[in-house]
Amino acid sequence: MGSAMFETFNLQPFEDDIRSSLEQAGREKIIRRLWKKDFTLWKEEDREISNRLGWLEAPEQAGPNQALWEELADTIRRRGITDVLLLGMGGSSLAPEVFSRVFGSAPGYPSLSVLDSTAPEAVRRFRDSLAPDRTMFVVSSKSGTTIETVSFFKFFFSWLEQVLGPGRAAQHFLAITDPGTPLEEVGWRLGFLKVVPGVPTIGGRFSVFSAFGLLPAALIGLDIKDLLNRGREMARLCRTENPPQQNPGLLLGTLLGRLAGRGLDKLTFLLPSPLESFGGWLEQLIAESTGKEGRGILPVAGEAPASVQVYGQDRFFVAYRLRGDDSAGAVIDNVKRVGRPGLVIDLHSSAELAGQFYLWEMATAVAGFWLRVNPFEQPNVTAAKKNADRMLKFFAEHGHFPPETPLFREEGLSLFGDAQGSSPAEAIRHFVARGRPGDYIALLAFLTPEPATEAALKEVGRTLRDKTRLAVTFGFGPRYLHSIGQFYKGDAGRGLFLQFTARDSQDLSLPREAGAGALSPYSFGLLKDAQAGGDFQALREAGRKVIRIHLNGRPADGLRRLADWLRE
């Protein structure tokens, strides 16, 4: 069973179910109703549905804006800008990150980096490495109120005012935000180079074919016309009604939704290294859209290849093959040989990735139909935010966060949460042993993103997967809060969560307002710690199994020590 776009394998046990589901899709006119924006496909009540379906026509309707985006790109090139730093989270940052990492900048265009970490060292590195007079800052937030993005903006705007002189910083800032947001007002009031409107009917994680995705792509010289054409062609294919299996979005979404209902809900991506960043975008789209009401599809991206024996029976594989790159070939062959189900998508070049964005948006919407969830809302995201706000207010009043008592404080770490044992190592091993087939483990790192720490975190994940045969995800906070965090609180409670924190070697103060001299009562380090504490509390309030491991010393060393304990 497959389509002209991808090859499926080992789906024989599910063929009758998939075939009857596609027939049902035809009878119920799912595709026609979706394109007519019929909210009853998902829910009886139209809550964040019909006003969130603008992504369907986005590749077509974005065309008139192409000239504006390219003119803006030419403007900053003529001004000698060599670096673009995008300040954003989740749906505002993940597609631009893919464009930058997969395609790079065209000759003569600036490079693009993304800041989505509140770790003080992560912010400081950009401040110390960027040339102020040759950098353009893109402040990207659909709501215009995202606390991380607003904090980044205040910090870098104030820094530029100090370095370049009063009144000069604003011309180094662009804003992308929906009409009527506080960020729009700030951008016009301060005199930003440009304030570019988003489309209110397109949700953040579906916004790749709007200004949130395509303006950053234009700034680094990508061919916007080609990106839009590939999106339009995929949209055309995803309008096909008869036969249903010829609609790639309908077929893929039906596979995802129906197999998840049969327990194959760990959607494991095998990506060649040039496309690795695409996994981060897929993670947010699928997890935040489907993980709610006790259901969901858990995307597993960035996982190290393994012998097939360590994969549980809850896996469904999606592999990408890129012409000229066979880095995932051996793993794909092994998965096929032992009878695990999945599909392979072949790309002739990285340029075809533009159509894949649209394919997965459509497939996710269809999967939501089969799972009976609203894929366009994120009801559990606010819990961690509210808890973090309360912690910051507590700090402002008392000068410290609410006190906590660790279960253990030894061997280079402190351990908090629900665990049993006579030592930290035993308690952590006991906690992990609570996992059962069909569960998963999530590593939540409120640490500075850097290569050594990421490598050590992946080592812990690889060790846990090989020992438990459970799927393991990992992410840096607060980035994951805007991505897979919704799934963690909205699914059926199958996760075991290990949160990691550490003391920052040097904090970084936050200005109270952009350009103002007065400092906020908070710093980046305090914000990060409040977000960690807020999410820890939100997970516990949702009844999740969670422990927090506070690492003393270098985080990479502590993580490697933890991997050694788990191997014992």
Encode pLDDT of 322-358 as tens digits: 988 877 777 888 888 888 999 999 999 999 999 999 9
Q: Decide if 388 is inside a domain.
A: yes
Does the residue 250 lie in any domain?
A: yes
Are residues 202 and 89 both part of a single domain? yes
Region for residue 114 given its phi and psi (left: phi exceeds 0; alpha: psi -120 to 50; beta: otherwise): beta
- State the Cα–Cα distance between residues 507 and 510, nearest whole angstrom: 10
Mind listing the pLDDT tens digit for each residue in 221-274? 999 999 999 999 999 999 999 999 999 999 999 999 999 999 999 999 999 999
Flag whether pLDDT at 159 surpasses 90.
yes
**Cα angle vertex 88, ends 82, 93, to 5°?**
80
Considering 351, 371, 391, which residue would you say is the last residue of a domain? Answer: 371
Query: Tokens in use for 233?
Result: 């062609």
Q: 100 falls in which pLDDT band (50, 70, 90)?
A: very high
In 172-220 the beta strands, taken as DSSP E runs, fall at: 173-177, 194-197
For the record, the structure tokens of 518 come out as 């007065």
In a domain, residue 53? The reply is no
Same domain, 262 and 285: yes
pLDDT at 411 over 80: no
Same domain, residue pair 143 and 208: yes
**Mean pLDDT on 497-525:** 91
Radius of gyration of the chain (CA): 23
CATH number, domain of 365, equals 3.40.50.10490
- Give me the number of domains the chain comprises: 3
Range of the domain at 248: 6-36+238-371
E strand spans, 38-116: 83-87, 111-115
Q: Which residues have C-beta within 8 Å of that of residue 194, sequence separation ≥ 6?
A: 72, 174, 175
In terms of domains, do 65 and 157 share one? Answer: yes
Give the three-state DSSP class for 106: coil
**Is 46 inside any structural domain?**
no
Q: Are residues 545 and 397 in the same domain?
A: yes
Same domain assignment for residues 443 and 532? yes
397 and 477 share one domain? yes
Whether residue 338 sits in one domain with residue 214: no
Q: Residue 310's CB: how many other CB atoms inside 10 A?
A: 13
- Amino acid identity of residue 278, one-letter, is F
Could you tell me if residue 376 is inside a domain?
A: no
Contact 447, 475 (CB under 8 A): no
Q: Would you state the pLDDT for residue 523?
A: 95
Q: What is the signed CA dihedral for 178, 511, 499, 260, rounded to 10 degrees?
A: 0
Question: By the 8 A CB rule, do 421 and 427 touch?
Answer: yes
Q: State the pLDDT at residue 108.
A: 96
- Among 166, 198, 228, where does a domain finish? 228
Q: Give the model's confidence band at 3: pLDDT under 50 very low, under 70 low, under 90 confident, else very high.
A: low
The half-sphere exposure of 549 on its side-chain side, counting CA atoms within 13 A, is 29
Whether 156 and 284 share a structural domain: no
What HEC string does 449-489 produce?
CCHHHHHHHHHHHHHHHHHHCCEEEEEECCHHHHCCHHHHH
Its pTM stands at: 0.96
CA pair distance 435, 524, nearest whole angstrom = 34
Model confidence over 305-324: pLDDT tens digits?
A: 787 788 999 999 999 999 88
- 445 in a domain, yes or no? yes
- Kindly give, in sequence order, each residue whose CB lies less than 8 Å from that of residue 125, ignoring residues fewer than 6 positions away: none
Rounded-to-integer distance, Cα 557 and Cα 459, Å: 12
What residues contact 90, with CB distance under 8 A and at least 6 apart? 116, 204, 205, 284, 288, 479, 482, 483
Distances (CA, A) of 235 to 94, 248, 256, 446, 469: 21, 10, 19, 38, 38
Does the residue 48 lie in any domain?
A: no
| Same domain for 547 and 427 | yes
| 390 pLDDT more than 60 | yes
Residue after which a domain boundary falls, among 371, 402, 422: 371
Query: How far does CA 348 lie from the centroid of its chain?
Result: 26
For residue 413, give the amino acid letter. Answer: L
21 belongs to a structural domain: yes
For residues 510 and 523, the answer to whether their CB atoms sit within 8 Å is yes
Q: CA separation (Å) from 478 to 118, 156, 368, 483, 531?
A: 7, 19, 26, 9, 7
Burial letters for 350-384: b for 16+ Cβ neighbours within 10 Å, e otherwise? beebbbbbbbbbbbbbbbbbbbebbbbbbebbebb
Residue 1 has pLDDT above 60, yes or no: no
409 and 329, same domain (yes or no): no
Same domain for 221 and 339, yes or no, is no
Q: Which residues of 291-307 are buried (b: 16+ CB within 10 A; e: fewer)?
A: bbeebbbbbbbbbeeee
Share of the chain above pLDDT 70, in %: 99
Residue 533, classified by CB atoms within 10 Å of its CB into exposed (0-12), middle (13-18) or buried (19+), is: buried
pLDDT, position 2: 54
